[in-house]
Amino acid sequence: MIQLYIPLNFLGVIYREIKQSLTDLEKMFTLLEREREIADLPNAPALQLAANGSDASVRFDHVTFAYDPVATEGDKSQGGRTILHNISFEIPAGKTVAVVGPSGSGKSTLARLLFRFYDVGTQAHIAQGQSGRILIGGQNIKDVTQASLRQAIGIVPQDTVLFNDTVEYNIAYGKPGATRAEVEAAAQAARIHGFISSAPKGYDTMVGERGLKLSGGEKQRVAIARTLLKNPPILIFDEATSALDSANERAIQAELQNVAQNKTTLVIAHRLSTVVDAHEILVMDAGHIIERGTHAALLAKNGRYAQMWALQQSAD
Ligand code: ATP
């Protein structure tokens, strides 16, 4: 029995390891897959922004978008469904715009388009009834190189992908070639330094299945540290839907606000408390902006946002 148990257990460990690395690989390939569909124009210039980000405004100009413009044989249900309808808004440089709305209303799609996982307004799109453009600092993002665009944008996603590597590698990923001192400074600012230092091998501790296991909040802090290291002029925060305990949530929000200081920020908010100070709040439903304004203006309007706010207050 014991003899049988040991190899089986060993196989289980190997299986878990392979599965974990496949998960990472899968995620990488999904990203690469997307990238192949988006091609830079021949001789595309780099996105030009001032070093201090003072011109890094973001503008969605009448964007209408569908993921699958042509229905495929296998899945006619999704084909041609318009996900965003004539969306226009501007984030002035250094300001924050927050997007709220029910699941499936198109919030994350805005973020994906800004990071150019999909193009809008190409000739092919226009032929299929889609339209619009997305501008950063007045430059259409489909006309500049993807590398320069992605250099200018930092994302703190809902679920941070951590690599099966050391903590240091996972943070330094935000800035290839970063020194240990820079990594530690970013971790300090994201308030994860203490946690990392308490692990036996500190920053050399492996992350993942057989190493340091991180909670949702800790993973988000790693993502914040990555973004701090990268120091881009534009930020996208996709707030976690999974509930953190409220002390942790408040702390993470405070850190996010810190990172967002003077950066052009798009926040996809699931908790309305995050959006109170936004320059503008967009309330989305089924791909339309149904209300927009500041927190105070939207409360005074006593419409959908005010209802959502009242609901969330009573739930807290
Ligand atoms: P949540 O709050 O649940 O994250 P969301 O408002 O961010 O939702 P999106 O992820 O933007 O919503 O999705 C908007 C719609 O687009 C949904 O109906 C979704 O099913 C559809 N969708 C998302 N990704 C794809 C895709 N890759 N291909 C086809 N349809 C998609």
With a threshold of 0.95, tell me whether the complex ipTM lies above it. yes
Q: Is 106 in the pocket of ligand 1 (CB under 6 A)?
A: yes
Q: Is 108 in the pocket of ligand 1 (CB under 6 A)?
A: yes
Q: Is 232 in the pocket of ligand 1 (CB under 6 A)?
A: no
CA 157 to chain CA centroid, nearest Å: 4
Between the CA of 87 and the centroid of ligand 1 the distance, in Å, is: 15
Residue nearest to atom 18 of ligand 1 (CA): 104
CA 91 to chain CA centroid, nearest Å: 16
Residue nearest to atom 20 of ligand 1 (CA): 104
Instruction: Give just the sign of the alpha carbon dihedral 286, 290, 295, 301.
Output: negative
* pLDDT at residue 162, rounded to an integer: 85
Q: Is 67 in the pocket of ligand 1 (CB under 6 A)?
A: yes
Between the CA of 99 and the centroid of ligand 1 the distance, in Å, is: 14
pLDDT in tens, the chain (316 residues): 444 454 555 555 555 555 455 445 555 555 555 555 688 889 999 999 999 889 999 999 999 998 876 544 455 455 568 899 999 999 999 999 999 999 899 999 999 999 998 888 777 677 776 789 999 999 999 999 999 999 999 988 877 778 888 999 999 988 888 999 999 999 998 889 999 999 889 999 998 777 778 888 888 889 889 998 999 999 998 876 655 666 777 777 777 887 888 899 999 988 787 788 899 999 999 999 999 999 999 999 999 999 999 988 877 6
Q: Is 104 in the pocket of ligand 1 (CB under 6 A)?
A: yes
Q: Which residues of 213-244 are buried (b: 16+ CB within 10 A; e: fewer)?
A: ebebbbbbbbbbbbbbbbebbbbbbbbbeeeb
